[in-house]
Chains A and B, each alone.
Chain A
Amino acid sequence: MTVSLTIENLSAHYGQTQVLKDLSISVAAGELVSLLGSSGCGKTTTLRIVAGFLQPTSGHVRLGDRDLTRLPAHARDIGLVFQNYALFPHLSVQDNVAFGLKQRGIAAADRAKRATAMLERVGLSNLADRLPSALSGGQKQRVALARALVIEPPLLMFDEPLSNLDAKLRVDMRVEIRQLQKANGTTSLYVTHDQEEAFSISDRVAIMNAGRIMQLDTPEVLYQKPANAFVARFVGFENLIPMKVVARDGAVVTAEAAGGARLHLSQDLFGPIKDDFVLATRPDGLVVRKDGEGVPATLGTRTYLGRAYQYKCGTAAGEITANGALSEPFEPGDKAVLVPMPEQCCILDPET
C-alpha cells in the first residue's frame, strides 16, 4: 500500500508573520523527499502541517486520494520520528512499539508478536523490557523508528531524527533508516538542516528558504546544477561573479566582469546565456595561475587543504576563494589570475 503525498499551495502564518508562502511539493509513492534548509526556513512548519499539529492558512495536504487538510492529527495515520525521540517514558520498549497497534484495536497477542518482530528488525529484541531512560540515544531512535514503522503507515515523517546523535552513529543510522524505508517502500518526508544527510538519504531534496522551495531535485542535480544563487551558495558555490555579455560569436559569448576581466563561454556547454548573468563556482572551479584567461587578483591568506592550497583573493568583483596547485605555491600579496574551469561552473540569473 504505497501512496503519494501531495502538498498544494500551502500558506501558513504565525500571527502576522507568513512562514510558508504558497508551497507545493509532491512526493511519489515510495519516494523519500527531504526538506533541507536553515532554521526558520519553514521545513518543520511544513512537516507539522502535514502531521496535523498546525493548520495552514490556505492550501491542501493529500495522501493518495485522501484530503488530510481538515482531518485531526490522530486520524491521519502517519508515522512520525522526532528529533528528541519522544518515547513514552512510563512504558517499556515493547509497550512503546505496541502503542500504535493498541490504538488500532489490535488484540494483545497479535500486538506483542508484531512489536517483537519489529524490534528484531531494528536489532533491539533483547531490550524489550527496558524503560526508555535505560537506553542510549541510538537505541532510543531505533525504538522510535520501530514504533513509527510497526503501524505500517502510508507516510513516514522524520523531524531532524539524527541531530541528537554523535557523528559516527548519525551515519550508521541514516543508512539504516534508508534501508528500512526502501524495504517497506514507505513514502517519506524527511526534515533536516544537514546537507550531507539530506543528500545521502533522499531520492529528491527540496532546498527551502523563507517559506519557499528554492529548488526540488535529485541530489546530483542540486549539487552540480543549482537553479539559483541561493541554492548555489547552499551547495558550496562560494564565488558568485556578476557578468555582462559584451559580444556574441556563434555559440561563444564574451562576457565581462567588474574591473574589465573578460571570459569566453560556450553556449554549447552552458545552454543559452542571457546578457546579464552570474558565474558561480566552488573554490575548486577557479584555479590560481600566473597567467591565462581569467579574473586578475591579488592573493591574500593561504590555507593548506591537503590536495591543494586555498587562497582568499581580492578582485575587482569582490573577495573570491580559489584553489591553486601544490606544485605552484603563491605568497600573500602576489598578483595572479583566477582561471575558471568551465565544467565546474554554473551560469545563474542575477539575484533580484
Chain B
Amino acid sequence: MTATAPHFEAPPVRAPRRSVQALLEARFAALLVAPAMAVIALVAFYPLGHALWLSLWKINLRFANTPWVFVGLGNYVDAITDDARWLNALRVTLTITFTSLLAEFVLGMIFALVMNQSFKGRALVRASVLIPWSLTTVVSARMWQVIYHASYGVFNRILVDIGLIDAYKPWIISPVFTIWAMIGADVWKTTPFVALLLTAGMQLIPGELYEAAAIDGATAWDRFWRITFPLLRPTMLVALLFRMIDVFRMLDLPFVLTGGGPGQATETLSLYTYRVIFTDLKFGGGSALAVLTFLMILGSAFIFIRVLGAPVAGAESER
C-alpha cells in the first residue's frame, strides 16, 4: 500500500491546476463528511449544549408549572460539596473502574498469550471468547442473577462443593459482596474484548524479535517483559482507554443486576444521575451530574491520549 504512491503522483502538474484539483477534492470530501457530521451535531452536540444550559437551572417536572429558577453553577457546587449520594456513586464508580480494568487486563493478557499461539482448537477458543462479548449486558445481568442467587444459585453450590465456603452467601444482596459480584460479572463479559485487542496487537510484533531473543538465551519471562509488554504498549493504551470510557459510564449492569443496591452499594454515577432525572424529575440538577460524568471521562481520555500517548484516530495526524 505504501509502495503505490509514486506511480500516480509522479507526473508533474502545473501549480494552478493542482490547487483546483485540491479544491475539488476538498469539496467532494466535505460533501461526503457532511451528513454524518450533521447527525452528530444534531443528536449529540446540540443536546449536550442543551444539557449544559439545563444544568444551570433548578427544574422540577414533578409539578406542572413549577417555574425554572436560574442557579448558575449552583447545581455543580451542590453535587460536589453537599451531595453524599453523588460522592458515594463516584466512589463506587472509581472502585469498579480500577478493579475491573485491572482484572480484565491481567486475565485478558493471559487469554491473549494463549490465543496467540498455534494449537489445535484455536478456532474453538476464539468462538467461545466471542460469546460473552456478544451478549446483551441486560441479558448477562439476568444470567448472573440466577447464578448468584442466595439459595438456589449455582455459584454457591460450586463454591460449597469444592470447599471454598461452608455456607451459602447472598452474593448480590449483601453490602459486602455485591460490588465484587458485579465486578465479576463485568469482567466476565468484557475480558474477551480486551483479549482480542491484545491478541491483534501481539500479531503485529515481528517474530524475528522472539527468535533473536531465544538465540540470546532469553527466558519466556524475559521475552514477555522485554519484548511483548513494551511493544504492546500502544495497543494496551487504546484498549484501556475504551474500556475506561465504558466502565466509567456503566449503567445497564447495576440497573438490572442489583438496582444499585443493597442501599447504594452499587449505585454508579450514571445510575444515580438517571434516578435524579427520571425518578426525582430534577432535570437541571441531573443534567449537571451528567455533565460532570462527561467531563471526568473527557479528562481521563485526555490524559490517556495526550500524556500517555494512546494512538487513537483523531489524536494524531495522518499515519
Say if A and B assemble together: no
Which residues of A come within 8 Å of B, CB atoms? none
